[in-house]
Amino acid sequence: MENQTTQQRIKAIYQMLFEMATGNLSFRIFKTDQNDEIGKLSEMLNSLAGEMHDILLQSGYVNPHYSYQNLVQTTFILDDNFIIRSFNAHVPEALYYKSEELFQVDFGKFIAPQSFSIWNQKKNEASLDDNYHSTVPLIFITGNYKLLPIFCTISRLRYSDKIIVNSITTILQELLSDPKYVIKVNPEKQSEAVVMQNLYDYILNHLEEPLPTLKELAVLFDTNEYKLKQGFRELFKTSIYSFYHEERLKRAHLMVNQTNIPLKEIAIMNGFNSYLNFYKAFKKRFKYAPSEIDRGPHEAV
């Protein structure tokens, strides 16, 4: 039981690093009474995210973070000896390798020493189970000598000796170099920008809940409805509701693609009051139904 709790706490740290990598500086690790090294690291990450958030706002910038369109899916196809036989187009740009440096190379070559034991364990398990499916955090060594933590889904293909390794990551270089991801705010409107940033963060951290009315949001953020509506549109180029609706559908799509959570539960987890409403909204947005996505050997509805 204690080992399981430790794993959950470590998973929370990986999640925190992932959220910070996508620019979500409002995410926090839940505090516990445990004052061990994991607890100290969690507290340090919470503090660091808070300081970065404050510095950004004090500098007069709004941070439109956490757009799922900046996330890329990487897919490796390995043979029975865990040699890379194919990969999708996002892999070289995400890991900073040339295609020829990846093709027909042992997948373990790109795993950091910190993850060797985990990867070797998963290799052994996958070798013994024709229906193998597991999700695990791994740390990669990129072509520019950086460490990149990623949650990976490892699955065996049916009627094949091939193994699929899927993951979702973000390309930080694009985020940092593209000016559309950082908005400079007029100093006279800086206090208004803080309100908009807080509203932005609030929506992203409450996607599983129904969106409050504009009047309720205005009370929550101590402003009036007009300023809230116009200010958000001016800074983020979309309406409050459109942003909320788009982001929860993007998150739902990611969950359908990368997890085995039943579709009805995914609908609820993303703020839809019924699966039918979720189904209609999903199909309208992506032009296909959530049930049409291949979810691997453990698909559930």
pLDDT, mean of residues 69-82:
80
Per CATH, the number for 1-59 is 1.10.8
* pLDDT at residue 298 in the model: 45
* pLDDT at residue 22 in the model: 55
Domain range 69-174, CATH architecture = 2-Layer Sandwich (3.30)
pTM over 0.95? The answer is no
- The lowest-confidence range among 8-22, 43-57, 167-181, 264-278 is 167-181
Is the per-residue pLDDT at 103 higher than 60? yes
CB under 8 Å to 2, separation ≥6 — which residues?
A: none
> Per-residue confidence at 180, pLDDT binned at 50, 70, 90?
very low
> Per-residue confidence at 185, pLDDT binned at 50, 70, 90?
very low
pLDDT, mean of residues 164-173:
67
Domain boundaries, the chain: 1-59, 69-174, 186-301
* pLDDT at residue 225 in the model: 92
Computed over every residue of the chain, the mean pLDDT equals 78
In the chain, pLDDT over 90 holds for what percent of residues? 25
* pLDDT at residue 184 in the model: 45
Residues facing 204 on adjacent strands = none
* pLDDT at residue 281 in the model: 94
Per CATH, the number for 186-301 is 1.10.10.60
- The lowest-confidence range among 30-34, 48-52, 118-122 is 30-34
CB atoms within 10 A of CB 80: 12
- The lowest-confidence range among 65-74, 171-180, 183-192, 219-228 is 171-180
CA distances from 158 to 155, 218, 237, 298 (A): 9, 53, 45, 12
* pLDDT at residue 173 in the model: 41
Is the per-residue pLDDT at 72 higher than 50? yes
